[in-house]
Amino acid sequence: MVIEVVRIGQRLVRDDRVTTHVALVSRAFGAKRIYMTEVNPEIKDTVEKINKTWGSNFEIVFIDKWKPILKKKKDEKFKIIHLSMYGENINSVEEDLRKEEDLVIVVGAEKVPREIYELADYNVGVGSQPHSEISALAILLDRIQKGKQFEMEFPGAKRKIIPTKNGKNVQVKETRD
């Protein structure tokens, strides 16, 4: 299963920190790439630095408009999941989501255009209360993968954490640069 994320409509009063965290959750929870509109280019540098140190080929792709990418993904047979507090309860759709092949998950910032609700194969609510795109995305990715994402290897890592009961244990790989 390939999972990708589309972050749409960052608020003009900049939402950089939230958007960075949406990208970090996507990367750490097993998505392959994130598409973003209206974003500060520094976010890409931040995530690329994290890739360099902690591994993975996770990609940030800047886009002008969300519609062409969602249409392209539909043509590529991805199912579109739109995270919205108005959507179907995650508890009742998670099993169906796990049976799907490739998924693209849409998260909003401010008011999401009506068209996205119609384009989506699933509108999914992580509960029916407003909260945060970061938490909604993390919970959705966890329900779909049932924790398997935390066993994933991150290729090319210079540092690797060895989980430990007490303190910090980090394996450091020697590289020339």
Give the three-class secondary structure for 75. helix
Report the residue number, 91 or 132, with the smaller CB distance to ligand SAM: 132
Residues 54-93 that bind ligand SAM (CB under 6 A): 83-85
Q: Which is nearer to ligand SAM, 55 or 120 (CB)?
A: 120
Distances (CA, A) of 53 to 10, 57, 158: 27, 11, 5
Pick 65 or 111: Cβ nearer ligand SAM: 111
The Cα–Cα gap between 135 and 15 comes to 15
Cα(78)–Cα(32) distance, rounded to whole angstroms?
13
Site track 108-147 with ligand SAM (rule: CB under 6 A), x = hit: xx-xx------------xxx-xxxxx--x-----------
Note the residue count of the chain: 177
Question: Which residues fall within 8 angstroms of residue 95, CB to CB, at 6 or more apart?
Answer: none
CB of 93 to ligand SAM, least distance (A): 12
110: its two tokens? 């401010």
Is 107 among the residues that bind ligand SAM (CB under 6 A)?
yes
Query: Of the two residues 98 and 131, which places its CB atom closer to ligand SAM in the complex?
Result: 131
Least distance (Å) from ligand SAM to the CB of residue 90? 8
Show the tokens assigned to 134.
């970061």
- Can you tell me the distance from the alpha carbon of 59 to that of 27, in angstroms, rounded to the nearest whole number? 8
Given the complex with ligand SAM, which of 30 and 125 has the nearer CB atom? Answer: 125
Which spans of this chain sit near ligand SAM (rule: CB under 6 A)? 83-85, 107-109, 111-112, 125-127, 129-133, 136
